[in-house]
Structure 1
Amino acid sequence: MITYEYYCETNGKTVEVSHRMSESLKTWGELCQKAGIPLEETPKTTPVERLISGGLLFKGETSSKKSQLPMADPGCGRSNCCRH
């Protein structure tokens, strides 16, 4: 699973949540439910937007084993990580 950041313009809050790449959260209610946080005073139908970021991949069996993919070697010419 990947960790994404979502921003709510109405309340000015940014929330991190993990979900599959195929999922996309559209509202504050969906975001709060997925993150396990209370709605507070923001209506559940309030739109949220996913922020553009590198994201974190969860590797291993527990969420405590977060790890970012290593950066590609700039001299190798590959667009993805070649791990050499």
Structure 2
Amino acid sequence: MPTYDYRCETTGDVFEVKHPMALKLSTWADLCDVAGFNQGTTPPDAPITKLLTTGGVVSSRSLKNPEAPPCMSGGGCPGKQSCGI
């Protein structure tokens, strides 16, 4: 199951949550339900924003070499070249 980062727009706090890709979260109550968080004093209808994060997913169809690049398999980036990931 993928992991996503969300920011609560009321408090500015960022939370990491695992949930299915098809699930769309838009409020603090939604996030708390999925993650099992206590809502606390934050209003349940407080908006949340899904943050852009870099995932460790590489499609082998997009690579000339079907092996994952070293940076995606824990080996670090070879040299100072940019592979676009």
- The answer, yes or no, to whether TM exceeds 0.5 is yes
Shift of 1:37: 1.0
Within the alignment, does 1:78 sit opposite 2:63 as a pair? yes
C-alpha RMSD over aligned residues? 2.6
Query: How far apart are residue 20 of structure 1 and its match?
Result: 1.1
Which string of whole-angstrom CA distances, capped at 9 and with x for unpartnered residues, describes residues 23-53 of structure 1? 1110000101111111111111111010000
Higher-Rg member (1/2): 2
Q: Could you tell me which runs of 5 or more consecutive residues in structure 2 were left unpaired when the two chains were aligned.
A: 69-85
2:24 maps to amino acid: S
Normalising by the residue count of structure 2, what TM-score does the alignment of the two structures yield? 0.66
- Percent identity between matched residues is 36
In 1, Cα distance between the equivalents of 2:49 and 2:37?
17
Question: How many residues are aligned here?
Answer: 67
C-alpha distance in 2 between matches for 1:36 and 1:29: 10
Tell me which protein shows more strand as a share of its residues.
1
Runs of 4+ that moved beyond 3 A: none
Structure 1 Cα separation of the partners of residues 39 and 17 of structure 2 = 15
**What's the TM-score, normalizing by structure 1?**
0.66
C-alpha separation in 1, matches of 2:63 and 2:57: 15
